[in-house]
Chains A and B, each alone.
Chain A
Amino acid sequence: MPALPHPLPRTGLPCPTRRLALRQCLATAALLATGAARALDAPKGKVVLSVVGQVGTTNVEGRADFDMAMLEALPQHSFTTSTPWFKEPRRFSGPLLRDVLAASGAKGTGLRAVALNDYKVEIPVDDALRHKVLMATRLDGQPMPVREKGPLFIIYPYDESADLRSERYYSRSAWQLRTLEIR
């Protein structure tokens, strides 16, 4: 593989400030609270998402697997935003990432998103709490085939803030998502 020159440096994880750490503690506590409350059913259909790692609520072999029906059972959100991958702003809908984490009882501060083609990227859990990060299941109301970057697409509300319209957040927007590793 040739070295990939990149005009812009990939940013690493942000250094947590004291406020950030506090928020993460609260978040973890919240997650723990919600996680401890409910149990998770086993998936009936084809598994589209597996949440592994430090999860409190599992349904299969120490991980939380979700099929599309389970994801669509979570509270759904949607917004329209412009993206670098589509010419025009598109409407994305699905559960909030933080709700998915809560449903799986995630106990970590960071997670790694892994896509079907083995693309990996680190996302701080704080992102899901601070922003309305969507685990999009539908594009313009329709499910996304793999060819169209489906079935799951992590979408940030880019139009909400200029900060989100940067390489850092674009790279965190993993599509063809398959696994969330909580750590």
Chain B
Amino acid sequence: MPDQRPPRRAWQRPSGWLLATGVGLVLAFAAVGWVQWRQVSLLSGTVRYEGDNLVWSFFQVESEFLQLRDQLREVQLDPVDPVRAAVTDRVRQRFELFASRLPLVAPERVAHLVNFGPEHLVTMAALDAFVRKHEVVLGEAADRPLTRQAALAALADLANLFTPIHDLTLRANQRIAENVGDRNDAVRDQVRLSMGLTVFQSVLTLAFALLTVRQFRSLVRRRRELQLVANNLQEARAEAEAASQAKSAFLANMSHELRTPFNGMLGMLALLDSDRLDAEQADYLRTARESATHLLDLLNDILDISKLESGRLDIVPHALDLHRLLRDVQALMAMAAESKGLALRVQVAPELPPWVMADGKRLKQILFNLMSNAVKFTDTGEVALTVSTRPAPADALGAEPMHELRFEVRDTGIGMNDAMRARLFQRFSQGDDSTSRRYGGTGLGLEISRSLARMMGGDITVDSKPGSGSVFTLSLDLPGARPDQLDPLTTPGELLGDHDGTAADEGEGLDLLVADDHPVNRKFLAILLRRMGHQVRLASNGAEAVALVAEQVPDLIFMDVHMPVQDGLQATRTLRAGPAPMSRVQIVALTADAFADTRQRVLDAGMNNFLSKPVQPDDIETLLTALFGARARGRRSGRADFDDSGLAPLAPDDLTAHDPHASAPVRAPSSPSALAAAAPAVPRRRFRASDVAVHLDMGVIGDLCVGVTLAGYQSVLAGFLNDESGSSANLLAALDSADTAALKQLAHAVKGASASLGLRAVQALALQIETEGASFTPDACAAAAAQLRDLLDTGRALLQRMGFSRPAA
């Protein structure tokens, strides 16, 4: 409980009382010490009373006086004259004794102790006079015999002295008693004072002790309270951690659960996309795919944000080919830019390091986000990506130097004012409310991008003016890399697998096993792989997979990680523990979540590679090619071989699926889906890097452009594509009507035209039709027709893309 009491003043606090009591005690001790010292000095003063009892001394004077008088009276009574010797001796001794007493009460000796008044002086003077007068005859030194006359004279003088002596004695007695009384009083007072001080001391000590006890108790209590608070905090923390763990586990589960149906949905929608749909259906399909893709983007962004928040997003740097990455980015953005009529420029500094250590996936994500935003918010003009670097000093230790990279995305769009710029990186803010409705998107992109940039040790900064566009700058310091540092578990684009060196056995296809608990996933992968020309067996959990492997060891297993009964990791361990060749089978993990520790677990369990869902056909093909070389091409060829035993009977149109370049969706994070709504009615094509090489002969086209200029080529090409001569239409009509007799001649025409224009694939098909068309079956004709249409479309699309041809008005 927080201490709500107001702060106390110094005199209120217990420690203040404690201090005061302690000071009081010290003072009391000092006072007592002083009193006792005074007492001791008083007492020793008493002892320094000359050591002799004054009262006794005065009494002695009187006593000796009387004894002397008695002696002299004895002489008086004895008539013998001179006095007898024995008596004389006695008298003289008495006289001397009497005289010896006088100095002890002399004023100069005793006056400083007690004042006996002026009578004292007078009496003492009289006594001294008496002694002086009579010592001639009465002193011990007297040598003559004592006469009666002298003795009696002395006696007479002595008699006069009795009263003064007696008075003196009495007075002395009284005075001394008074003095002693005073002294006693003083001592008694001091004792009283001492007692009082002692009592005070005791009280203070008691108070001190009580206060100390109280302080101690309050400390104990405080400590107990703090302990309680600490316990509560610890419990709360444990709860919070548990909640966080639960959230992370929930996240991991959901990311798998959510992506799996998406995987299925997107896959199925992709499979639906073919030329058999009419325009309206194609439109619906396109909308569905765009919606699904947008939803997937949103989901990915949400999952990214959650991962960032819970600290579970990992940046996994690997050796990255910067130029290739930039080419990919450019390729993907080019279409979006072109569909809005914007120019897209990518400028790369020549001193850019070829290889850096970076997380390619995340870097691509950031660049896509920045560039798609630029395209999104620009209506006219251009979007430019400029990549520059500062030259890095070579490290003295010979380690790879750090390169300071700057990726600048500049657009000529609507721009932002300062208010918008300030809110830019906040969640869900896209300028203002109207902007977000107009431009769509998830609103999370910039937040994710900046978080990713900061996790990589860099940052994203913005400069913008309303109406004159914006500049987003991603600054990153990345270390250089060497190509031999490639991580075997990188994105499939950079996969290096082991080549098992099997002889290129063209046309046989691979024996593949797919293990996944989700029926949609299994179906999708099966179709995909079969189209690629491989044989596929299916298992719905790890145990089934192991059983199928035991029957016949496949070339490769696509193993889902999360499965009931026996999951992928367990199945892998089981297989690895078995005998060869089962233990050496290639196993590739399929998993929906991409946490780094999942990858590690996959490796630890014994799997060879890793693909993340949703799986791209592209990635599968690259993987298979890397592993099996030419065998990976399966039973695909440019030839129209329609006998595929082992496969389910396919409709003639499905033969187009043999084309490895079937449009499967290439996933681009934060794709500008809204742009599709605003795009003109040109069917969007997706191209792969090898399409041009397959469909076109760039050498021929180049020569033509040199020979007759670009404009010349374009016009001839337009003639062919628009079929001004009608040769394509004629050939197609003949194929459609299975007019095999006319095929040779018509195909020959098409062959020539396409060959001269560089349409390689069309040329090849035309050649095939020319040489074999006479023996085509009706089915074969239909198939060929379809293929021809497809090739023509693809060729046209490619040439349009490249700018050799304009889309039809």
A170 to B52, CA, bound (A): 8
Interface status of A117 (Cβ within 8 A of chain B): yes
Dominant SS at the A interface? loop
Complex CA distance for A146 and B138, rounded to whole angstroms:
13
Stretch at the interface among B54-62, B237-245, B562-570, B657-665: B54-62
Across the interface, A84 reaches (CB within 8 A) one of B46, B52, B96, B180, namely B52
Contact indicator per residue, chain A 140-162, by CB within 8 Å of chain B (1) or not (0): 00000111110000000000000
7 nearest interchain CB pairs?
A84-B51, A146-B96, A170-B51, A147-B100, A7-B180, A84-B50, A147-B99
Q: Does B140 contact A (CB under 8 A)?
A: yes
Classify the interface of chain B: helix, strand, loop or mixed. Answer: helix
Most buried by B among A1, A83, A117, A149: A117
Set A4, A85, A117, A166: member contacting B55, Cβ < 8 A: A4
Rounded to whole Å, the gap between the CB of A8 and the closest CB of chain B is 7
Q: How far is the CB of B693 from chain A (nearest CB, A)?
A: 127
> What residue of chain B has the Cβ atom nearest to residue A10's Cβ?
B53
The reply on B650 being an interface residue by CB < 8 A is no
Q: Is the CB of B64 within 8 A of A5?
A: no
Partner of B97, one of A83, A165, A166, A176: A176
Q: Which positions in A face B, CB cutoff 8 Å?
A: 1-2, 4-8, 83-85, 116-117, 145-149, 165-167, 170, 176
A62 to B44, CA, bound (A): 45
> Are B46 and A7 in contact (CB-based, < 8 A)?
yes
Cβ contact within 8 Å between A148 and B100:
yes
B93 within 8 A of A: yes
Are B46 and A146 in contact, with the CB atoms below 8 A? no
| B64 CB contacts on chain A under 8 angstroms | 117
Contact present for A166 and B180 (CB under 8 Å): no
Q: Is the CB of A167 within 8 A of B47?
A: yes
8 A Cβ contacts from B642-678 to A: none
Q: Flag if A5 contacts B100 (CB, 8 Å).
A: no
* Known contacts A117-B97, A146-B100, A148-B100; is-contact A6 B53 (Cβ 8 Å): yes
Could you say which of A2, A83, A149 contacts B100, with CB atoms under 8 Å apart?
A: A149
Give the residues from 84 to 107 in chain B that come closer than 8 angstroms, CB to CB, to chain A.
93, 96-97, 99-100, 104
Is B248 among interface residues, defined by CB-CB distance under 8 A?
Answer: no
Tell me which residues across on chain A come within 8 A of B47, comparing CB atoms: 8, 165-167
Indicate if the CB atoms of B51 and A146 lie closer than 8 Å.
no
A5 interface neighbour in B46, B55, B141, Cβ under 8 Å:
B55
Known: A145-B96, A148-B100, A167-B47. Contact between A1 and B59, CB under 8 A?
A: yes
* CB-contact partner of B56 in A4, A84, A85, A145, under 8 A: A4
Contact A146 B53 (CB under 8 A): no
In the complex with contacts A1-B59, A176-B97, A176-B100, A8-B46 CB distance below 8 A: yes
Closest CB in chain B relative to A86 CB, distance in Å: 10
B191 within 8 A of A: no
Q: Is B36 an interface residue (CB 8 A)?
A: no
Number of chain B interface residues as a range: 20 to 34
In the bound complex, how far is the Cα of B63 from the Cα of A117, in angstroms?
9
24 pairs of residues in contact across A and B, judged by CB atoms under 8 Å: A4-B56, A5-B55, A5-B176, A6-B53, A7-B180, A7-B184, A8-B46, A84-B50, A85-B51, A85-B104, A116-B93, A117-B64, A145-B96, A145-B140, A146-B97, A146-B100, A147-B100, A148-B100, A149-B100, A166-B47, A167-B51, A170-B51, A176-B97, A176-B100
Q: Which residues of B contact A83 (CB under 8 A)?
A: 51
Bound complex: CA of A85 vs CA of B55, how far in Å?
A: 15
B121 within 8 A of A: no
| B153 contacts A by Cβ under 8 Å | no
Please determine whether B173 and A2 come into contact, CB atoms closer than 8 angstroms: yes
A148 nearest in chain B by CB position: B100
Whether B96 lies near A147 (C-beta < 8 A) is yes
On chain A, the residues within 8 Å of B53 by CB distance are 4, 6
Query: CA A6 – CA B176 in complex, angstroms?
Result: 10
- Given the complex, which residues of A lie within 8 Å of B705, measured CB to CB? none
Taking CB as reference atom, which chain A residue is nearest B64? A117
Q: Which residues of A contact B499 (CB under 8 A)?
A: none
- When chains A and B are docked, how far (Å) is the Cα of A8 from the Cα of B47? 9
- Please give, as numbers and ranges, the residues of chain A lying within 8 Å of B52 by CB-CB distance: 84-85, 170
* Most chain B C-beta atoms within 10 Å of own C-beta, residue among A147, A165, A167, A170: A147
Select the residue from B46, B55, B67, B170 with max chain A CB neighbours within 10 A. B55
Tell me if B482 is interfacial: C-beta within 8 Å of chain A: no
Could you list 18 further interchain pairs (A-B, Cβ under 8 angstroms) beyond the known A5-B55, A8-B47, A147-B140?
A: A2-B170, A4-B55, A4-B59, A5-B177, A5-B180, A6-B55, A7-B180, A84-B52, A85-B51, A117-B63, A145-B140, A146-B97, A147-B99, A165-B47, A165-B51, A167-B47, A176-B97, A176-B100
CB-nearest residue of chain B to A173: B51
Q: How far is the CA of A84 from the CA of B180 in the complex (A)?
A: 19
For residue B177, which residue of chain A has the nearest CB? A5
Interface centre among B52, B53, B59, B93 (most CB of A within 10 A): B53
Q: How far is the CA of A165 from the CA of B104 in the complex (A)?
A: 19
Bound complex: CA of A83 vs CA of B48, how far in Å? 11
Roughly how many angstroms separate A170 CA and B104 CA in the complex, as a whole number? Answer: 15
Q: Is B183 an interface residue (CB 8 A)?
A: yes
**A7 / chain B contacts, CB cutoff of 8 Å:** 46, 49, 180, 183-184
B100 nearest in chain A by CB position? A147
Q: How far apart are B173's CB and chain A's nearest CB, in angstroms?
A: 6
Q: Which residue of A lies closest to B96 (CB)?
A: A146
Which of chain A's residues have a CB closer than 8 A to the CB of B55? Answer: 4-6
Q: Which residue of B lies closest to A169 (CB)?
A: B51
Residues of A within 8 Å of B49, CB to CB, are 7
Nearest-Cβ distance from residue B71 to partner chain A, whole angstroms:
13
A130 to B141, CA, bound (A): 38
Q: In chain B, residues 34-80, which have Cβ atoms closer than 8 Å to a Cβ of chain A?
A: 46-47, 49-53, 55-56, 59-60, 63-64, 67
CB contacts (< 8 Å) of B93 on chain A: these are: 116, 146
B167 CB to closest chain A CB (Å) equals 13
Could you say which residues of chain B place their CB within 8 Å of the CB of A85? 50-52, 104
Are B51 and A116 within 8 A (Cβ)?
no
Q: Chain A's nearest CB lies how many Å from the CB of B660?
A: 125
Q: Which residue of chain A lies nearest to B67 when distances are taken between CB atoms in the complex?
A: A117
Give every chain B residue within 8 A of A176 (Cβ-Cβ).
97, 100
List B contacts of A166 (CB < 8 A): 47
Interface residues of B in 193-208 (CB under 8 A from A): none
Interface members, chain B 708-766 (any A CB < 8 Å): none
Closest to B180 in A: A7
Contact, CB under 8 Å: A146 / B50: no
Taken together as a complex, chains A and B put the C-alpha atoms of A29 and B188 apart, in Å, by 49
C-alpha spacing A1/B104, complex, angstroms: 20
Could you tell me the distance between the alpha carbons of A37 and B137 in the complex, rounded to whole angstroms? 46
Residues of B within 8 A of A4 (CB): 53, 55-56, 59
Shortest Cβ distance from A1 into B: residue: B59
Closest B residue to A83 by CB, please name it: B51
**Distance (whole angstroms) from the CB of A172 to the closest CB of chain B:** 12
Q: Which residues of A contact B177 (CB under 8 A)?
A: 5
Complex Cα spacing A8 to B56, Å: 13
Known: A84-B52, A170-B52. A117 touches B60 (CB 8 A): yes
Of chain B, the residue at the smallest CB distance from A144 is B100
Query: Which residue on B lies nearest to A87, using beta carbons?
Result: B109
**Chain B residue, CB-CB nearest to A116:** B97
A131 CB to nearest chain B CB (Å): 17
CA distance A127 to B519 in the complex (A): 126
- Shortest C-beta distance, A160 to chain B (Å), equals 16
Cβ-closest chain A residue relative to B131: A147
Closest to B176 in A: A5
Residues of chain A contacted by B180 (CB below 8 angstroms): 5, 7
**Complex Cα–Cα for A84 and B53 (A):** 11
Please name the residue on chain B nearest to A2 by beta carbon.
B173
